[in-house]
Amino acid sequence: MYRDASLLDTFGHLLIVFYFLVTAIGNLAGENIKGLVGRMAELHTPFPTAAFWIGTSLQFVGCGLLIADWYAEIGIYCLILFMVVVSAIFHRFWTFTDPMRRELGRRMLLLNIGVIGGLLMMLQNTQQL
Closest-CA residue to 107 (of 96, 121, 120) = 96
What's the pLDDT score for residue 30?
84
Query: Within a domain: residue 119?
Result: yes
Query: Within a domain: residue 2?
Result: no
Q: Span 20-31, mean pLDDT?
A: 95
Q: Span 1-29, mean pLDDT?
A: 87
Cα–Cα distances (Å) from 104 to 38, 97, 101, 129, in that order, read: 20, 12, 5, 38
Query: Within a domain: residue 39?
Result: yes
Query: Within a domain: residue 1?
Result: no
Q: Span 27-46, mean pLDDT?
A: 95
Residue 23's CB is within 10 A of a number of other CB atoms, namely 14
Number of domains in the chain: 1
Q: What domain range includes position 33?
A: 7-128
What's the pLDDT score for residue 4?
64
Query: What is the chain's mean pLDDT, rounded?
Result: 93
**Residue type at position 80:** I
What's the pLDDT score for residue 2?
47
